[in-house]
């Protein structure tokens, strides 16, 4: 019997590529994002190509009531989720004290609250299964403070710490939790987060969303807890704790400064 994957932020980037991978592997899908038209196009493409069933649920998960509505949609349609992929996220670039609060609030609501709420809603039924997987998409930003993107970096640190903790709690169950930590990746994130102003994407190798998604999918299926994409990113994540935090923060600031 085919299993079902719920993927948030599935209309572009890593989420879109993960939808293609899950479909290719024969899994049914529930895809969620704000842009209903893109979801409808993706549903048509995947169902025709892979002969699977795709449900769509268009919503802004930064809204407080959206996780409950998505969970209710699953109940109404008798959808049992075997793979939960919390991929939706947003960032913002610039000095925190000069930023728009609504934007900062959206980072907390989407990157932290929504991810945590969806995990809390779906995990009880997943624990009842013989095997189930959660993938929470964080970032290499999770491993250090990030001046000029302070709230975003902090939100991804939360995702990593939360995911590692519940992975430990779930020892002995059939549920694994994988935190995917990509570095700079080709996607719409740069544009939506005003990252065109930053030197980050000029100074480091930029991965494709497809390559990151393939890596993340394999890591999740193996039950890997923390999956950092790319050798340079792996090295950076291991080395940063060895240096004084003030130094690391200053280096990140230098990397992130405007062009």
In CATH, the number for domain 4-256 is 3.40.50.720
pLDDT tops 70 at residue 213: yes
Average pLDDT for 203-223: 92
Is residue 259 very low, low, confident or very high in pLDDT (cuts 50, 70, 90)? low
Question: Is the predicted pLDDT of residue 226 greater than 60, yes or no?
Answer: yes
Q: What is the pTM of this model?
A: 0.93
**217 annotated active-site:** no
Amino acid 242: pLDDT: 94
Residue 94 gets the label, from left (phi > 0), alpha (psi -120 to 50) or beta, of left
Percentage of the chain lying above the pLDDT 70 cut: 93
Q: What is the mean pLDDT of residues 101-114?
A: 98
Is 81 a residue whose pLDDT tops 90?
yes
Longest dimension (CA), the chain: 54
Q: What are phi and psi of 209, to 5 degrees?
A: -60, -35
Residue in 18, 159, 24, 7 with CA at minimum distance from that of residue 85 = 7
The per-residue pLDDT for range 161-193, each reduced to its tens digit, is: 999 999 999 999 999 999 999 999 987 665 555
Lowest-pLDDT range of 199-203, 221-225, 232-236: 199-203
12-39: pLDDT as tens digits: 999 999 999 999 999 999 999 999 999 9
Averaged pLDDT, 61-68? 97
Residue from 152, 153, 217, 229 carrying the catalytic annotation? 152
Measured over the CA atoms of residue 100, residue 158, residue 22 and residue 18, the dihedral's sign is positive
């Amino acid at each position: 019997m085919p299993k079902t994957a719920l993927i948030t932020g599935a209309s572009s980037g890593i989420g879109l590529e993960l939808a293609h991978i899950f479909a290719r592997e024969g899994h049914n899908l529930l895809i969620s994002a704000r842009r209903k038209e893109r979801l409808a196009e993706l549903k048509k493409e995947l169902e025709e190509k892979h002969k699977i069933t795709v449900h769509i649920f268009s919503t802004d998960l930064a809204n407080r009531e959206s996780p409950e509505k998505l969970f209710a949609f699953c109940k109404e349609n008798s959808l049992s989720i075997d793979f939960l992929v919390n991929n939706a996220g947003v960032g913002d670039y610039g000095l925190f004290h000069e930023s728009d609060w609504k934007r900062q609030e959206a980072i907390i609501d989407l990157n932290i609250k929504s991810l945590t709420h969806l995990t809390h809603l779906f995990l009880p039924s997943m624990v009842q299964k013989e095997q189930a997987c959660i993938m929470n998409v964080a970032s290499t930003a999770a491993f250090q403070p990030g001046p000029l993107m302070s709230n975003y970096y902090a939100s991804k640190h939360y995702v990593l710490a939360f995911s590692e903790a519940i992975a430990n709690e779930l020892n002995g169950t059939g549920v694994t939790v994988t935190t995917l930590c990509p570095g700079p990746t080709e996607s719409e994130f740069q544009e939506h987060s005003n990252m065109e102003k930053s030197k980050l994407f000029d100074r480091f190798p930029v991965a494709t969303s497809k390559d990151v998604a393939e890596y993340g999918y394999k890591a999740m299926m193996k039950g890997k807890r923390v999956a950092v994409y790319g050798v340079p990113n792996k090295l950076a994540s291991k080395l940063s704790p060895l240096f004084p935090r003030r130094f690391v923060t200053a280096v990140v600031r230098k990397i992130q400064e405007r062009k």
